[in-house]
Structure 1
Amino acid sequence: MAERPSASRQKAYRRGHRGEWLAAAALMLKGYRILARRHRTRFGEIDLIARRGDLVVFVEVKARRSLMEAMEAIGHESERRIEAAADIWLSRQADYGRLSMRFDMVAVLPWRWPVHVENAFYGRN
């Protein structure tokens, strides 16, 4: 019989689901349609995939105390993993040739509406 996850692990899982739900709500209010949540590939997981027109946005959701902490929580390895997973997802779309893509981040901060950061991977070294 499989062991149950620890209480702290369960709490983190619930917090992650709540953060992704809030992030999805914020994006929908901005006119995005949520195509997938927690999309898994062999390279890893994409928290949210959203679309507005011909733009597909791959979103990493981070629940942190500040926007700076959320931005710093996405390392270069995470970026590469998300980019590889996004390539797989895009290649399976019928309208692949006309889609633009972008990598965004939504920071879920205490007692604030989620902060949507467009092009979160752009210009980072």
Structure 2
Amino acid sequence: MLIGELARASGVTVRALRYYEQEGLLQPERAANGYRRYDGGAVAKVRNIQLLLSNGFTAQDVRGFLPCLDDGEVSLGPACPPSVEAVSRKVEALEERIAELSAVRDRLVEALTGGATPRRPGTVARHPAYTRPA
């Protein structure tokens, strides 16, 4: 299939497909006229690339997944051995970010409640300075 057909079938732009090629994520064949030609598995591969990018992985991270991107949706199967390092790094970064955000939330709750502990975890006691947007 040609690049426009792949774009329509996978729901991405032609520009995105060219970027994926530039980053080494897609390797189309070239016809005699220079047109890019993709095989039938390219649609699944592009959807998997989109899924990984939308979940915060970089193009460089996605390269670690390349051996696994043609095997159906990457989120449905067990971790692909070449991708384990990238997934582990992402989980570690998320855990650090969650800890940072939790500390910020705790400081804000303490500031709003004057140090009083809210009744339920995850809730904020009513305080005159605290109003929820409508």
TM-score (norm 2): 0.27
Structure number with greater CO (CA < 8 Å, separation at least 6) is: 1
Larger radius of gyration: 2
Bigger fraction of residues in strand:
1
TM-score normalised per structure 1: 0.28
